[in-house]
């Protein structure tokens, strides 16, 4: 059965296999972005590949493995570069933050020893603001045992509603039961050799 959309072009089996079986170095290096072999193939969400037998289905699964490996490489590179940038940022800002804190504490000390609550300067205002009191829980169990200072949040019990529906078929007032369509999933099997797949195709 042809599952292609009329008017849409889909890649041939050779084009699917090309990025899997070619010999070119396709590794990504930091700050070095290579054009991917499938750069000219950007299917629309409605496009479908014409899969007619188990072999083509398995080759398509191999394509998924290849694409997943490529995405994993990109994600790995991204996280490595991100970690590097985060360490650089933390080291640089830590130095500046220590300097900032030094000058900030010096101004705070000057305002305190001057017995002032505020000071209006050409480049900024200094002020001691009154802070509202806040509660510091030292032992949560002790507080809860009194029963006086406990806040209870009422929420619908989703599990109980679903259990009631499964047992009786009745949907309680004020809610609905959503039964989604079966969800398609693929469990890829990486780590296999796919270089000689062409020879396995009886039609190739």
**Among the listed ranges 26-30, 42-46, 79-83, 138-142, which one has the minimum average pLDDT value?**
26-30
Q: Quick one: CA dihedral 123, 128, 134, 138, positive or negative?
A: positive
Q: CB count, 10 Å around CB of 90?
A: 10
Q: Residue 117: name the closest of 125, 107, 127 by CA.
A: 127
Residue 18 above 80 pLDDT? no
Residue 1 has what pLDDT? 46
- Domain locations in the chain? 13-132
Angle at which helix 13-21 crosses helix 54-113, to 10 degrees, equals: 50
Residue 186 has what pLDDT? 86
- 125 Rama sector, left if φ>0, alpha if ψ -120 to 50, beta otherwise: beta
Reported as a pLDDT band with limits 50, 70 and 90, residue 146 is: confident
41: Cβ contacts below 8 Å, ≥ 6 apart:
11, 15
pLDDT per position as a tens digit, 98-117: 999 999 999 999 999 999 99
């Amino acid at each position: 059965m042809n599952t292609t959309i009329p008017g849409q072009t889909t890649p041939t089996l050779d084009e699917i296999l090309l990025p899997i079986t070619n010999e070119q170095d396709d590794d990504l290096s930091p700050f070095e972005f290579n054009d991917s072999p499938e750069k000219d193939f950007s299917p629309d969400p409605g496009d479908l590949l014409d899969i007619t037998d188990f072999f083509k289905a398995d080759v398509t699964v191999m394509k998924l493995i290849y694409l997943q490996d490529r995405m994993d490489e990109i994600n790995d590179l991204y996280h490595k570069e991100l970690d590097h940038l985060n360490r650089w940022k933390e080291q640089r800002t830590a130095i500046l933050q220590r300097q900032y804190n030094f000058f900030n504490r010096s101004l705070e000390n000057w305002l305190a020893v001057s017995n002032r609550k505020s000071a209006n300067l050409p480049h900024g205002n200094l002020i001691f603001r009154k802070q509202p009191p806040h509660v510091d829980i030292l032992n949560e169990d002790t507080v809860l045992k009194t029963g006086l200072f406990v806040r209870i949040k009422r929420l619908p019990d989703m599990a109980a509603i679903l259990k009631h529906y499964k047992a009786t078929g009745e949907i309680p007032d004020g809610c609905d039961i959503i039964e989604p369509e079966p969800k398609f999933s693929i469990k890829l099997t990486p780590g296999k050799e796919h270089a000689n797949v062409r020879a396995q195709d009886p039609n190739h």
